[in-house]
Structure 1
Amino acid sequence: MKLPPLRALPVFEAVARLNSFSRAADELNVSQSAVSHQIKALEDYLGEALFQRSGRYLVLTEEGRTYHDNISSALLQIERATESVLGEATSRLRLAVLSSFAVRWLIPRLPSLQRAHSQLDLVLEMTSETPQLSDRVADCFITIHRGSQAFTYDLLYRERLFPICSRQYWRTICETLALPEDAAEDDHLALTPEQVARFPLLSTYSIYGRESGDWAAWFGVAEQALPAKARIQHFSHMLMALEAARFHQGIALTNDYMLSEEADAEAFVRLPCHTLITGDCFYFAHKTSRRNEPGIRRMRRWLIEQAMASGLRTRIETESGTDPA
């Protein structure tokens, strides 16, 4: 069996994950020179440079990235197996998730996770819309992109957008359009795009990557163009547009998970209008080779249960099983 210097492997994993010799030394409770010594020993054994410096930053070389991806799962499996033999109850799990999904949907539900799986030590990491799917980043992800065939993807939510406003602003709309205040509860009433366009529209740039792209797509569902004279306020993030709507500044397009708290039902009114399906899907992603790890299995089961209970995921979607890349 041809093995590298084994003491160097957890050191290499820490440096690669933290992108820093000094932070790795702090985490491992050793000196920075000891970290440097172990990395050099590993590089000498492999005959390859694993890191390179880019200005003030430390980055993996192509060989280093490939090597890290290949050994990370093995190190984690050794750690999990050791915990099992020692009878340690805690299972540490790093979950990378989009900030809006974390703040508006996941974090309010964490007490339920803690009650159901008290042994799970969850670490949340904020991620971009296009995260690098790698053990170096996290153990599992909630993402809208399926970027690796080595991962399994479980559907949590198919995104749809619908117009909302504050209850106070809804009264303004009703007065302007001569509607009763309970019109939003009338299944037979639907506001037309022309009626909606009479009021300020709160637009989120990040959804379609261009100004007014969300509202242009919403009008497009009705086969209409966004009116040139529409009054539009632009925001970079849906959370900002939602807060503007909360403070009676107009009509925003939002999705289901952004209005997942009970208090939102009191603060906002969903306008009786058509819905826009964006085509984005939110997935719980993890390496297929790690599917039997207890922490990942618990998190997967709990997320799907919560997605169903909150209405994000339907029973039909659940019965269809996982959605592999």
Structure 2
Amino acid sequence: MPKHLRLPPINAIRVFETAARLGNFTRTGDALGMTQAAVSYQIKQLEDRLGFALFERKPRHVELTPRGAQLAKGTSEAFRLLERTFRDVREARDSVLTITALPTFCSNWLVPRIGSFQMDNPELAVRIDSRSDLVDIRAGDADIGIRLGDGHWPGLEARRLFADTATPLVPARTAKRYGPFTTPDDLLRLRLIGPIGWWRDWFEGVGGDVSRLPERPHLELETQTMEVAAAIAAGDAAVMVSPLYFAEQVAAGSLIQPFPHETGHGAGYWLVFDKTRAREPKIAAFVQWMLFQPMAFCLNRPQPAFPQDGEALTPAP
């Protein structure tokens, strides 16, 4: 762009717009935190750049020249538009909470519960980003995240929520047909779905016969939700998954947790957010709500279903 068509410095335009409204360089300086001399200098620089006078200097005030009045009208409208645009963006930002979390956590844990947060905070709209990639929270791509890891993400505050554990779950129809499962080795009657490393860790933790495990699982899919669906469809399979995701199905009896032991993976689920934004009302509200959830989960979580004396599951005829 040719030099004569470029905008003057925005600070000089702001000084001019304020002086045009107030009609006095001293009051302009007070309004902008500048000296009267600095205001005069900015106006003079702007006049020199434009090649014409913007004000007529009077003993106690200044008056706009005709060209100055024309410029003042346009700059005032431009600043009002800018202020309105920034206000709208701020209001939109303040009224929309963007949460990033892994797909399975979103679909199986967060989405079924987020309604209670929205009921408590009706002024907020919630947007959930369930991409598998790591979203840049510090860059503003999300307001808050729920991540799986060790709790160390540079520049982010991290609050621990849940342990990352796994345990076998069995569809109720399968348990009825192939049970009872009185020892861990009884699960080997079934085909095993899920990471075989998780199965080995769990069997070692409960004293099962690890040597009887297959070299690879019958099936391992992209998400735990898909693996549970596959186990239900198969009718003769157990699936190694996080019980955190399927507590409602266990409570309803559609999935059975035969044994209480859960194997930890060393990681956990963490609530993460930008430290510098911790006091923003929407972030503070979600943090407070979210940190209550582990306590509620522990209090309301159903106990695993183990066969009791005289109550063992029996095969269907």
1:166 is the counterpart of 2:171? yes
- 89 and 291 in structure 1: CA distance in 2 versus 1, 3 angstrom threshold: closer
- 108 and 96 in structure 1: CA distance in 2 versus 1, 3 angstrom threshold: same
1:191 is the counterpart of 2:183? yes
- 89 and 200 in structure 1: CA distance in 2 versus 1, 3 angstrom threshold: closer
Match in the other structure for 1:221: 205
- Provide the secondary structure at the position in 2 that maps to 1:236: coil
Residues 262-281 of structure 1: pairs in structure 2 closer than 5 A: 265-272=252-259, 274-281=261-268
For structure 2, the residue ranges without an aligned partner over 5 or more in a row are: 1-8, 12-85, 302-317
Match in the other structure for 2:110: 106
Q: How far did residue 97 of structure 1 move?
A: 0.9
Give the whole-Å Cα distance in 1 for the aligned partners of 2:255 and 2:157: 36
Kept in 2, the 8 Å contact 1:90–1:121? The answer is: no
Match in the other structure for 2:101: 97
Kept in 2, the 8 Å contact 1:105–1:260? The answer is: no
1:242 is the counterpart of 2:228? yes
1:202 is the counterpart of 2:193? yes
Q: How far did residue 96 of structure 1 move?
A: 0.7
Q: How far did residue 154 of structure 1 move?
A: 1.1
Match in the other structure for 2:284: 297
- 255 and 281 in structure 1: CA distance in 2 versus 1, 3 angstrom threshold: same
Give the whole-Å Cα distance in 2 for the aligned partners of 1:170 and 1:222: 20
- The more displaced of 230-239 and 156-165 is 230-239
CA-to-aligned-CA distance 1:194-241 (integer Å, 9 cap, x gap): 22223211114xxxxxxx222122223246535354762222321111
- Provide the secondary structure at the position in 2 that maps to 1:135: coil
Give the whole-Å Cα distance in 1 for the aligned partners of 2:194 and 2:262: 15
Q: How far did residue 163 of structure 1 move?
A: 0.9
Kept in 2, the 8 Å contact 1:158–1:312? The answer is: no
Kept in 2, the 8 Å contact 1:216–1:226? The answer is: no
- Provide the secondary structure at the position in 2 that maps to 1:128: coil
Give the whole-Å Cα distance in 1 for the aligned partners of 2:90 and 2:219: 55
Which of 296, 299, 311 pairs up with 2:298? 311
Q: How far did residue 5 of structure 1 move?
A: 6.8
Match in the other structure for 2:19: none
- The RMSD of aligned alpha carbons is 3.2
Q: Name which one, 1 or 2, has greater alpha-carbon Rg.
A: 2
Match in the other structure for 1:39: none
Give the whole-Å Cα distance in 1 for the aligned partners of 2:110 and 2:158: 18
Number of aligned pairs? Answer: 215
- 79 and 125 in structure 1: CA distance in 2 versus 1, 3 angstrom threshold: farther
- Provide the secondary structure at the position in 1 that maps to 2:158: strand
- Provide the secondary structure at the position in 2 that maps to 1:141: strand
Kept in 1, the 8 Å contact 2:102–2:131? The answer is: yes
Give the whole-Å Cα distance in 2 for the aligned partners of 1:313 and 1:302: 16
Match in the other structure for 2:241: 254
Q: How far did residue 274 of structure 1 move?
A: 2.7
Amino acid in the other structure paired with 2:212:
P
Amino acid in the other structure paired with 1:111:
G
Kept in 1, the 8 Å contact 2:152–2:158? The answer is: no
1:149 is the counterpart of 2:154? yes
Give the whole-Å Cα distance in 2 for the aligned partners of 1:312 and 1:257: 13
Kept in 2, the 8 Å contact 1:202–1:233? The answer is: yes
- Between the two proteins, what is the percent identity of the paired residues? 19
Match in the other structure for 2:80: none
Give the whole-Å Cα distance in 2 for the aligned partners of 1:170 and 1:5: 73
> TM-score, normalised to structure 2's length?
0.59
